[in-house]
Chain A
Amino acid sequence: MKRLLVVDDEPHVARVLRVSLVKDGWSVEVACNGHEALQAIATNPPDVMITDIQMPGMGGEELCRQLRSTPPARPFPILVMTSMTARDQRSWAQELGGIEFLEKPVSPRRVAAILTQLIAREKNNA
């Protein structure tokens, strides 16, 4: 079973993703901010991570920077959720590279399709 880590301080977002993606055979873990995410990644790195940007404590940008500066043993694709209106706030992620965007409100179907693509791409690269 593929494991997805959702990092978001709004529980409903994570829950919506969980109930929709469980049907497609994903197991979904939830972290409320960057710190919790780093802990979860240290104990058991996921196959994919989806993260919000604005969160109390450590936000999505800092989380991604930390993951780039000290990469986990097994790297994984990262999706960042942004609002449609905040397109201009993406430059940091483009600098870091290898980060894809999801526009909020997220459509679980689209997420499922994107995850499938990402996994297929990873497989091809491996």
Chain B
Amino acid sequence: MPEGHTKELARYGRWLLRSAGPLFRVAIGNAEGVLLWPAEADSALGEALGACLDGPLITDCMRKVPVADGAAYAHPAKLPDGSGDGWLIALPSLDPAPREIDLDALADAMDDVAAAMSDASRLNAEMDLLATELAERYEELHLVYDIDRHLANQDLGNEVLQGLLQSCAEQLNADVACFVRPADNLTISAAHLSKPIHNLDLVLVEMRGDLFRFVSSSRATVVMNGMDDSRRPYILTDMPYKVLACPVFQGLEMPAMLTLLNHQSKPDFSNSDRRLGEVMAHQIANVMRMQGMFAEMRRFTEQMAAALIEAVEAKDPYTRGHSERVHHLSMRLGQALRLRSEEMDNLHWGSLLHDVGKIGIPDAVLCKPGRLTADEFTFIKVHPERSYEILRHVERLKGAIDGARHHQEKFDGSGYPHGLRGSSIPILARIIAVADTYDSITSSRAYRAGSTHEAAVTEMQRVSGTQLDPELLDVFLRVCEDDPGLLMRLGVRREWDDH
């Protein structure tokens, strides 16, 4: 018995001793006949405790218990630690033997102590109940903390779901936590195995079928602990696991499900597990909703950008596809240079929108076949700065603007609009310049057919170091060499095409 309870019991024992008076020895025992107080063994008191139920009731509650040396008195009492029933025992001392025992007084004393003990027992039981409740709240709190941590640290790819499932498996101490969305053939799972599961892949596949259909038709959490559960043959065949499956709703639809599996040797899934599972399913629903919104935002942004590009290219049909191709080549260069993902994002938009400023150039100049006059060329030279003026209104594109604004700068400082040179030209702009130059040479224009790849390479090598960054050009040429299919996809002519 825990320390605290022993002390508490001793207090009741001493109280009973004082109230019963000097003529009695007293004890407290449990229903199994074990003496709990006093600590020292006492055979006479032990004997009385063992025989409590044999004695007849002599007051409402008190029994007179026959023992070897006469009689003891016993009164039922709740043990104050809430562990169950017990007895208060009073044994008249033999020396000096009491002539007359005031049974009413003894019964009153026993009643009082028993009532106090019963109150304490009830309070203790209530506290335990509250503590159990608190323990479950702690679990929820932990899970929510974890969910919060995952959602705060990452963007909303499926890695977030993976992380959430891992937390879920660990927090709920489940062997497997798994998310299935059959419409997309998507299964994400995390394991926290107490024992191996050899055919985990098969198990996961099976969940996408009948279990999902069952949960989706019942639209409620399904708990199956028993292996003899009557639903089992219809839902899961050959899967000797305990199952907790929670629906994940999106509005009225149930596109997905969260499932926890446990080996048979684990404890049953409890109501608290069920509630935690539902909390988790709810959070996953939120993640999915956010993923949907995120994807929609992305689509919207891309479509807006496409509309802008369309506006530029509508002015000059010969540049159709130019922005796309420059974008494609720039991204390949960026990958080869292992740019950080943030830089890649800037390159993505910068390269797509690099010519947006051409919207401001008069059609007569932009589409003029043949050489431009100096005045006309001034119009052309304005376009990167125009790109900047258009794009600066979009906060999201802040990091991308420099790429568009400076893609006409030349490595030796002779370019426009600012005459920057060398490494003072932003790296994204230098990348776009390489891609832009290549596409301008290889694609057809109003006044000429596109050159071959080989001709473009020769021309670009000629201007390496004056117009283009030589290091970037080398990387670009390597990319082209490593992936000849790239040029084919872009529709670039090759030297041998002409023969």
Interface residues, chain A, with chain B CB atoms under 8 Å away: 12, 15-16, 18-20, 27-31, 36, 40, 105-110, 112-113
Is there an interface contact between A107 and B171, defined as CB atoms closer than 8 Å?
Answer: yes
User: Which residues of chain B from 164 to 178 have any CB-CB distance to chain A below 8 Å in the complex?
Assistant: 170-173
Q: Contacts A105-B141, A110-B170 given; 7 further ones with Cβ under 8 A? A: A18-B131, A19-B128, A19-B132, A19-B135, A20-B132, A36-B3, A109-B172
CB of B4 within 8 A of chain A? yes
Is there an interface contact between B173 and A109, defined as CB atoms closer than 8 Å?
Answer: yes
Q: Of the candidates A27, A40, A107, A113, which one forms a contact with B138 in the assembled complex, judged by CB atoms under 8 Å apart?
A: A107
Contacts of A16 in B (CB 8 A): 131, 134-135, 138
Docked Cα-Cα span, A106 to B3, in Å, equals 23
Contacts of B142 in A (CB 8 A): 105, 107, 110
A15 (CB) vs chain B CBs: closest residue: B131
Contacts of B128 in A (CB 8 A): 15, 19
A18 nearest CB across to chain B (Å): 7
- Also in contact, A15 and B127, with CB within 8 A (given A105-B141, A108-B135): yes
Is there an interface contact between A108 and B138, defined as CB atoms closer than 8 Å?
Answer: yes
Is there an interface contact between B2 and A106, defined as CB atoms closer than 8 Å?
Answer: no
19 intermolecular pairs with C-beta atoms under 8 Å apart: A15-B127, A15-B131, A16-B131, A18-B131, A19-B128, A19-B135, A20-B132, A27-B2, A30-B2, A105-B138, A105-B141, A105-B142, A106-B138, A107-B142, A108-B135, A108-B138, A109-B139, A109-B172, A112-B173
Contacts of A27 in B (CB 8 A): 2
Is there an interface contact between B135 and A20, defined as CB atoms closer than 8 Å?
Answer: yes
Per-residue contact bits, chain B 133-162, to A (CB 8 Å; 1 contact, 0 not): 011001101100000000000000000000
Is there an interface contact between B138 and A29, defined as CB atoms closer than 8 Å?
Answer: no
B372 nearest CB across to chain A (Å): 67
Docked Cα-Cα span, A125 to B171, in Å, equals 27
- Which 5 residue pairs spanning A and B have beta carbons closest together? A107-B142, A15-B131, A20-B135, A19-B131, A108-B135
A100 nearest CB across to chain B (Å): 16
Contacts of B2 in A (CB 8 A): 27-30
Interface residues, chain B, with chain A CB atoms under 8 Å away: 2-4, 127-128, 131-132, 134-135, 138-139, 141-142, 170-173
B134 (CB) vs chain A CBs: closest residue: A16
Q: Is the interface of A mostly helix, strand, loop or mixed?
A: helix
B116 nearest CB across to chain A (Å): 20
A99 nearest CB across to chain B (Å): 22
A121 nearest CB across to chain B (Å): 15
Is there an interface contact between B4 and A30, defined as CB atoms closer than 8 Å?
Answer: yes
Is there an interface contact between A12 and B171, defined as CB atoms closer than 8 Å?
Answer: no
Docked Cα-Cα span, A94 to B142, in Å, equals 25
Is there an interface contact between B134 and A113, defined as CB atoms closer than 8 Å?
Answer: no
Is there an interface contact between A108 and B3, defined as CB atoms closer than 8 Å?
Answer: no
- Also in contact, A31 and B3, with CB within 8 A (given A18-B131, A110-B142): yes
Contacts of B3 in A (CB 8 A): 29-31, 36, 40
Docked Cα-Cα span, A19 to B125, in Å, equals 10
B131 nearest CB across to chain A (Å): 4
Contacts of A113 in B (CB 8 A): 173
Docked Cα-Cα span, A3 to B170, in Å, equals 25
B181 nearest CB across to chain A (Å): 28
Q: Of the candidates B4, B127, B171, which one forms a contact with A109 in the assembled complex, judged by CB atoms under 8 Å apart?
A: B171
Docked Cα-Cα span, A36 to B3, in Å, equals 10
Contacts of A110 in B (CB 8 A): 142, 170-171, 173
Is there an interface contact between A12 and B134, defined as CB atoms closer than 8 Å?
Answer: yes
B225 nearest CB across to chain A (Å): 16
A63 nearest CB across to chain B (Å): 16
B147 nearest CB across to chain A (Å): 14
Docked Cα-Cα span, A112 to B173, in Å, equals 10
Q: Of the candidates B127, B139, B170, B172, which one forms a contact with A108 in the assembled complex, judged by CB atoms under 8 Å apart?
A: B139
Docked Cα-Cα span, A105 to B142, in Å, equals 8
A17 nearest CB across to chain B (Å): 8
- Most chain B C-beta atoms within 10 Å of own C-beta, residue among A19, A109, A112: A109
A29 nearest CB across to chain B (Å): 5
